[in-house]
Amino acid sequence: MESQYVYQKKRADFGRHPLFFDRMAEIQVDIDTNEDDRDDYMVRNPVHAGVQAVVQLSEHYANTDTFETSTKHINHVEGGWPKDINAADMEATSRFRKKTEKDENYSKTIVSLGERVEKVIRQNNAIDIYEEYFTDAGIIPTVDEPPRVSTVNLFRDPAGKGARSAINIAWHPDGGKHAAVSYGSVGFQKSLKDLESYVWNVENSKKPLITLRPRSSVLCMEYNPKDSNIILGGQFSGQVCIWDLRKNSPAPTDITAAEVSHRDPCHSALWIQSKTGTDFFSSSTDGTVKWWDTRKLSEPVEELILDPTKQLNPNAALGAICLEYEPTMPTKFMVGTEQGTIIICNRKGKTPADKIAALYQSYSGPVNTIARNPLYPKMFLTVGEWTNRIWSEDIRDSAIVTMKNSRYHTAAARWSPTRPAVFFTAKSDGSIDIWDLMVKQAQPTLNINVSDAPLCSMRVTDNGNLVAAGDRNGNVTLLSLNDALTELQKDEKAFCNFLFERETRREKVLEARNRELRLKEKQKNKPKIVEEDTQEEPTDDPLTDIATELSTVLAAEKKKHPLLERQFSFEIDQPVEDDEEEPQAE
């Protein structure tokens, strides 16, 4: 069926065919210049305007929630057999194998698969996949690029949602493949039901690689540098435990006895450079540092009381929060206390009092972190309250470099292992400040927002390219640094050496000047004190006034009675047995 509609229209209504042709330009309007109005106007500066026809886009990053998956394994050794065939029965498998080999499709399948396998084998024999084509090429110089940080992975606490904090992170000594994370509570004496700590594979954030179940919350963890299968842990109960990962047991392999352990929580424990690799030491807020041997944890090898008066009084000891140990100086270590004092100790001191070598009063609150510079061990970084400070062992009165106070509390800090001028600080606003002393000293070079929760721990790998930061919700964020933050810059060592020497020299001059002013003030005030004492002596002491008045009266009486004066002086100066000679003298 066709639908038609017929309408009529005049030809004139269709319009006419246009006829275009070229012609010369014609002036339509010509307005002359008015000289009187020229003074009311000015020449406009050129205005540059850009026109972009493409839709404008902006780049954004989003860290989505992890989709929980699991990996399943099957041990395929004997092959796939039907359900009615028992793989352990030799006769049944032999009959099934002979039956399959007689099938016509079996031979065709073997021939077709053989051609594919033969082709792959020939390619493998013809091509060397490990061949280096550009052996003579030199090292390509790196392009100068700004510092940049990217998020690699996010590890969530499997035990709960924000119930625990990631309070300590320890990297595997062989590289940044595994990281041990201890979880606990930062609240005062807050007990938790979940006590597990985990070892994570940095490439798999879905499930921890190893689960560790201590008897109490673990506050610190460290890998043994000589045997990466051994993990050291300091517990909230004050005990120190050891895990041997080769035994595949979540429980600690060995633990110290409660009666010889710390009385307060063990906040820090570090391995000591030794031939056996079994020595370590621990510290606690009970004011003691104890040395241990993993072969005999029944009692400590040695103990030091952190008494600043060197009287070895446990009641006057300072509670230890953090330890710092440099393997190149095996006998020296540093302790950060909750009273804000930094103590440098020497284990080889002859007496316990000699083991406390120096004291540095740094903060009015706890010292959260102490870190030595990897290239200049005499320079160390401290973190406490709202500021960061760089100290020199030669200057005890003040720090050589003090950063500007931050609005947020600083929880942890670490030097870059590869760049002596770069260090990182973790703050309570969930961000990490990256400081580059070659670029800026007054403020951080880069600020990275890591988490919405306050950060409480941070650790850098030995090669300096990965940074792990833990927050109070139990999340550990893994960050990757670009070459600008990991590779040694030109003249960086010379710059750091000049900076540290200059600031040390300046502090020495100021210290000597202050000492001189104090000495002058002391000498100036000393005569005033003596003069004031002599003036106040006759007025303040009534006995002195009475004695003076008595001596005046006696002197007047002696002048009136010369005989009495002579007899009085004689009785005082001569012995009693010589009284008979008095008439002969008269």
Is 78 inside any structural domain? no
* Structure tokens given for 493: 């060592």
* Structure tokens given for 132: 């280096």
CA count, 13 A, side-chain hemisphere, 312: 7
CA of residue 63 relative to chain centroid, distance:
24
Is 7 inside any structural domain? no
**Helix, strand and coil in the chain, % to nearest 5:** 25, 25, 50
Residue that the structure tokens 């008095």 belong to: 582
* One-character DSSP codes across 439-489: T-SSS-SEEEE--SSPEEEEEE-TTSSEEEEEETTS-EEEEEE-HHHHSPP
Residue of 275, 391, 260, 407 lying closest to 324 (CA atoms): 391
Residue that the structure tokens 């510079």 belong to: 373
CA count, 13 A, side-chain hemisphere, 441: 13
Quote the pLDDT of residue 572: 40
What is the C-alpha to C-alpha distance for residues 293 and 299, in angstroms, rounded to an integer? 9
507, 500 in Cβ contact below 8 A?
Answer: no
* Structure tokens given for 443: 């403020």
What is the C-alpha to C-alpha distance for residues 478 and 451, in angstroms, rounded to an integer? 11
In the chain, the largest separation of any two C-alpha atoms, in whole Å, equals: 183
Give the residues across from 244 on adjacent strands: 230
Structural domain containing residue 483 = 149-488
Quote the pLDDT of residue 222: 93
Quote the pLDDT of residue 158: 86
What is the C-alpha to C-alpha distance for residues 357 and 342, in angstroms, rounded to an integer? 11
Quote the pLDDT of residue 352: 75
What is the C-alpha to C-alpha distance for residues 499 and 509, in angstroms, rounded to an integer? 16
What's 401's domain CATH number? 2.130.10.10
β-pair type (197-201, 178-184)? antiparallel
* Structure tokens given for 361: 């009063």
Calculate the alpha carbon distances from 112 to 105, 108, 115, 555 in Å.
11, 6, 5, 143
Quote the pLDDT of residue 576: 43
CA of residue 29 relative to chain centroid, distance:
78
Is 25 inside any structural domain? no
Q: How crowded is residue 323: how many other Cβ atoms within 10 Å of its Cβ?
A: 21
Residue that the structure tokens 């009666």 belong to: 259
284 contact partners, CB below 8 Å, separation of at least 6: 238, 262, 263, 264, 265, 266, 267, 319, 320
182 contact partners, CB below 8 Å, separation of at least 6: 166, 167, 168, 197, 217, 218, 219, 220, 221, 233
What is the C-alpha to C-alpha distance for residues 81 and 87, in angstroms, rounded to an integer? 7
Spell out a b/e string for 339-358, using b for 16 or more CB atoms within 10 Å of the CB, else e.
bbbbbbbeeeeeeeeebbee
Is 511 inside any structural domain? no
Q: How many domains does the chain have?
A: 1
Quote the pLDDT of residue 58: 83
* One-character DSSP codes across 266-311: EEEEEE---SSS-EEEEEETTSEEEEEETTB-SS-SEEEE--TTSS
pTM for this predicted structure: 0.67
* Structure tokens given for 395: 């200057």
Residues of the chain with pLDDT under 70: 1-2, 66, 76-79, 136-143, 162, 186-191, 526-547, 550, 553-554, 557-586
Is 508 inside any structural domain? no
Is 440 inside any structural domain? yes
